[in-house]
Amino acid sequence: MKVLVINCGSSSLKYQLIDMETEKSLVSGLVERIGIDGSILTQKVEGKDKYIIKQDMKDHKEAIKLVLEALLNKEHAVIESMDEITAVGHRVVHGGEKYSDSVLIDDEVIELIKDCIPLAPLHNPPNIIGIEACKELMPNTPMAAVFDTAFHQTMPKVAYICPLPYELYEKYGIRRYGFHGTSHKYVSQKVAEVMNRDIKDLKIITCHLGNGCSLAAVKGGKSIDTSMGFTPLAGVMMGTRSGNIDPSVIAFLVEQQGYKLEEVNEMLNKKSGLLGISGVSSDFRDVQMAAEQGNERAKLALDIFNYKIRAQIASYAGIMGGVDVIVFTAGIGENSSFARKEVLKGLEFLGFNIDEEKNEVRGEVQEISTKDSKVKVYEIPTNEELVIARDTVKLLNK
Ligand code: AMP
């Protein structure tokens, strides 16, 4: 059985075809600049040259058409006919309060995803476009929606209700939802498996540190708190996002300094975080390089980044009444021994020490705490696509 996993962004589309017998990715690809001049599709198959198609694609439907052509292309083929694609799994960012798990897509589900657009105006529309394009091009292939918010629907009210007038929750659904759920779910389950422990007995803190960053407190396999909130702007500092700040800053900039609300919104989402403080880049590697060359603001950006994450880890150990394992994942979490080491500095009182040599390993499942550590620390490469494909198969077999 082969499942096509689709992740549509506003002008991009990532895809993977996964063989569910082996759970191996047969092909992965990226379409960029959809609807913009210079659209490009890049497809990778293990052991073969990259397959690149440069051809303008005016919308996601054209992009998906080209993806299907690329999958069937004579020279680069991984499948011989479309019938080999048993199902399609779509990443959908926001499922609101309605979805605490993945669902098979029908017209009602599409309507409900549309209802969540006000909660995720940048993310849900391209997700829906991707679903509708696939529906048109592959009308007989079942599809599933896997939500970024779903894993966090187990959070208790004490974690998700904002200290605002309660009517705002009742009227508008203003509450904390949390994101990156597919990744937090995958790495928490994976670490339990690697440790050969029942996840029900574990208190896990998962740190998804990439361009977007979020942490989750996973107790007994369930997310009981996470750092992102009503939107993915909340929580710890990120590449270009501020994370939590005093909300009065917004009123101050608008009322006292003449900024437009859209400008402040753009600033908080796209010009803050590592980029905003360093003035160098939103990319962790660039900022680290600048810091090593003596750039003081780059150094400050890294210090604040690490400090916010350290504080969040300590807080989650507090609310769970301890921690058994801390997991690092995503671009920075999987690859940067420097970030892991700096984030964890001062937290050794929780009951771990870092094995410096093991911490140098990059992008692999790896315990990085010393053997005698009571609390374990791991790096686990995330695999959101595999969770999407697994959930899709689970729904098909129901
Ligand atoms: P993601 O959003 O998960 O793709 O992560 C992107 C982030 O990971 C960027 O800030 C990159 O600089 C960072 N990253 C990727 N590889 C490394 C590496 N080897 N060392 C440090 N940071 C890295």
pLDDT tens by residue, 306-357: 999 999 999 999 999 999 999 999 999 999 999 999 999 999 999 999 999 9
Handedness of CA 154, 155, 156, 162 (dihedral sign): negative
The reply to whether 341 and 206 lie within a common domain is yes
- Rounded Cα distance between 203 and 320, Å, is 7
Pairing of strands 325-329, 222-226: unpaired
378 within a domain of the structure (yes/no): yes
Structural domain of 114: 2-147
With the most atoms of ligand 1 within 8 angstroms of its CB, the residue from 284, 286, 287 to mutate is 284
How far away, in angstroms, is 279 Cα from ligand 1 center?
A: 18
Domain boundary among 112, 132, 147: 147
Residue among 117, 179, 125 nearest 152 (CA): 179
Mean pLDDT, residues 52-64:
92
172 within a domain of the structure (yes/no): no
Residue among 323, 369, 351 nearest 201 (CA): 323
Structure-token match 């779903």, residue found: 150
| Residue 120 predicted with pLDDT over 90 | no
% of residues, the chain, pLDDT over 90: 89
Give the three-state DSSP class for 4.
Answer: strand
Domain boundary among 147, 182, 205: 147
User: Among 118-122, 231-235, 278-282, 361-365, which stretch is predicted with the lowest mean pLDDT?
Assistant: 118-122
Q: Residue 327 forms beta bridges with which residues?
A: 206, 378
Q: Mark residue 43 as left, alpha or beta (left: phi above 0; alpha: psi -120 to 50; beta: remaining).
A: beta
Task: Please give the backbone phi and psi of residue 131, each rounded to the nearest 5 degrees, phi first.
Answer: -65, -45
280 within a domain of the structure (yes/no): yes
With the most atoms of ligand 1 within 8 angstroms of its CB, the residue from 206, 207, 336 to mutate is 336
Residue 329 DSSP symbol: E
Does 37 qualify as catalytic in the annotation? Answer: no
The reply to whether 344 and 203 lie within a common domain is yes
- Rounded Cα distance between 219 and 263, Å, is 39
Ligand 1 in reach of 211 Cβ (< 6 A): yes
Return the structure tokens found at 367.
């315990």
For residue 49, give the CATH number of its domain. 3.30.420.40
- Over residues 189-236, the pLDDT tens digits come to 999 999 999 999 999 999 999 999 999 999 999 999 999 999 999 999
71 within a domain of the structure (yes/no): yes
Ligand 1 in reach of 283 Cβ (< 6 A): yes
